[in-house]
Chains A and B, each alone.
Chain A
Amino acid sequence: MATVTLNNIRKNYGSLEVVKGVDLEIRDREFIVLVGPSGCGKTTLLRMIAGLETITSGDLAIDGKRVNDVQPDERGLAMVFQSYALYPHMSVADNMGFALRMAGVPKAERQSKVRDAARILQLEPYLDRRPGQLSGGQRQRVAIGRAIVRNPKVFLFDEPLSNLDAALRMQMRIELARLHHELDATMIYVTHDQVEAMTLADRIVVVNGGRIEQVGAPMEIYANPVSTFVAGFIGAPKMNLLAGKLQCTSDAAQAILEDGSAVTLPTRPGLANGDAITIGIRPEALRVTADGSLAGRVTVVEHLGGETLTHIELASGQLATVKTDERAPAKVGQTVRLGVDPRRLHLFGPDGRAVSRRSEALQPG
């Protein structure tokens, strides 16, 4: 059982505010992923939860108990650092058993717990080695093993896969997902990689500039991003975001892009005629079609095997990406027209907030 509650958490370094009031309710056994660009305050937030950084203001509670002033080792959590932070002069077994040793657990019990964790992580052949004699992936596993041995209520991960190569990263991602099922613990995972967020999370927390932009299940966030920031950050390749002006007539609404081309909107957004509007189109929702409302020239075609990305420079000068199955819809240099299904459009107002969610966003709290 472990819930973690953040209530208006703030962090200042001198006069610089890096975490600007974060509210978050993390449920028991949830795999929560904090995702955001580098420098947005994810690590700081995680370190405050761990107790390595003081909380400037706000309340942090674990299982309903305020822990702002509780020592890190008494919060019942374990952390896996981005750099792994293994003890270089100790064997793998000693690394993993260190916390138990500090807690005064008898040697025999310590060894059996270390062996259990090593088995889960396939580290048994390496127990006598030093961290320096291991590969990156193995070190990563030792770092996770060190956390597992302590049997914590909450696991904290700070970009644990960022130092691994792409193949290993994918493998470890799957392993982490498996571990979460096996261990049944609450996990708080920080990453700047939206793929990790999408694949691992029960719920994603999108962080931007020290604030939470959006919280939700991966597909919920993917389907309904509340802002251009979230829309651009979640999903690969990025959502196409095209700026224009709103033009409403008695029976229809259109977005007029910079080159004058008009995109029909599904509904009439609650904005004034002439307001700036940004339309968002996922690359897979954009089609090359003869009667499309947008025109552009193909600049690059990327064949990824199962899918193909076609990059197009629109007449307005903006760039758009079209995602299709293996076949490219056009050749480089060709001029094409692009069509959009109005129902798959995302609309964002002048402030960058999603228009369809406007009424929610205005509610207090």
Chain B
Amino acid sequence: MERPLTQRIFAAVAGWGLAIIMFFPILWMAMTAFKREPEAIASPPLIFFEPTLRNFEQVLDRADYLHFFFNSVIVSVGSTLLGLAVGLPAAYALAFHPGKRAKDLLVWMLSTKMMPAVGVLVPIYLMFKSAGLLDSRIGLVVLYMLVNLPIIIWMLFTFFREVPREILEAARLDGARPLRQFIHLLIPLTAPGIASTALLSIILAWNEAFWSINLTVSNATPLTAFIASFSSPQGLFWAKLSAASLLAIGPILVFGWITQRQLVRGLTFGAVK
């Protein structure tokens, strides 16, 4: 179906416009990361400058980047795996054996995401403290899992609901109890959906800053805390902060870039089936 030319032009302009608006801050940050500190705060802002790697050298010199990086990997992947371990059976039960309150439960779970995290900072902090989980990776893994669980369950639920119930019932009669229904039917049938759920969970956990900054000190600090550590004592150093930020989001940007086809495929899975 061919749309009229004016409509196509409008769509193109709007699409590119939005993309540029969304991408601009990241671009600006990337540029700033290669400027010298005075250039970074120059007014009017500089568009042309001589790029330097000094900020990266200084940032990497001052902090053990790999330590933060591995913490981020462990915490985001770990919380995602744990989230799937809890979310898959939960979504299965909600989708295929719903109780009277299944819908309410789903809405309630999602509604917890509407509460500001800071509202539970004190209780969580105290719980972490008494459980000895402060500044521990295990603590962050469990917390991130809980934070992302509503989204994980909700997404898996919508993917599972696309699977005709009768297929599982046929398998039931063929001798497949729930675990085997999972292995032989649900996982292969909803693999794109499960994968995109996992990717989203990893990305969300990677970018989480509030809890990591408040609950970690040194041992378990992920990359978000790494960025934060450059915004503090001696005042702001835009260029170094940008370099640190770029180092922190770089891996996830690359990861997102590589997996974007998968992500889009999974997120539109129901629509195209």
Contacts and interface: CB of A to CB of B under 8 A. Distances in A.
B167 A102 contact: no
Contacts of A146: 170, 174
A43 B23 CA distance: 55
Given A52-B169, A102-B180, A85 B164 contact: yes
B90 interface: no
A34 interface: no
Contacts of B189: 88-89
Given A81-B166, A102-B180, A87 B172 contact: no
Nearest to B185: A87
Which secondary structure characterizes the binding site on chain A?
A: loop
Nearest to A74: B175
Interface residues of B, number: 16
A102 B176 contact: yes
Nearest to A79: B173
A73 B181 CA distance: 13
Contacts of B166: 81-83, 85
A102 B172 contact: no
Contacts of A102: 174-176, 180
Given A81-B166, A83-B164, A102-B180, A89 B188 contact: yes
A292 interface: no
Contacts of A89: 188-189
**Interface hub of A51, A86, A98 (most chain B Cβ within 10 A):** A98
B170 A73 contact: no
Contacts, number: 54
B173 A72 contact: yes
A124 B10 CA distance: 55
A212 B262 CA distance: 53
Contacts of A42: none
Contacts of B164: 83, 85
Interface string B224-262: 000000000000000000000000000000000000000
Interface in B152-187: 164, 166-167, 169-176, 180, 184-185
B185 A78 contact: no
Contacts of A87: 167, 170-171, 184-185
B176 A50 contact: no
A282 interface: no
A89 B171 CA distance: 13
A87 B183 CA distance: 13
A88 B174 CA distance: 15
A245 interface: no
A85 B175 CA distance: 15
Interface string B184-223: 1100110000000000000000000000000000000000
Contacts of B180: 102
A150 interface: yes
B172 A52 contact: yes
A98 B173 contact: no
Contact of A98 (B169, B171, B188): B171
A77 interface: yes
Interface in B55-91: none
29 contacts: A50-B173, A52-B169, A52-B173, A72-B172, A73-B172, A73-B173, A73-B176, A77-B173, A78-B173, A79-B173, A81-B166, A81-B169, A83-B164, A85-B164, A85-B167, A85-B169, A85-B170, A87-B167, A87-B170, A87-B171, A87-B185, A89-B189, A98-B174, A99-B175, A102-B174, A102-B175, A103-B175, A146-B174, A150-B174
Interface of A: 50-52, 72-73, 77-79, 81-83, 85-89, 98-99, 102-103, 146, 150
Interface of B: 164, 166-167, 169-176, 180, 184-185, 188-189
Given A73-B176, A87-B184, 7 more contacts: A73-B172, A73-B174, A79-B169, A81-B166, A81-B169, A83-B166, A87-B171
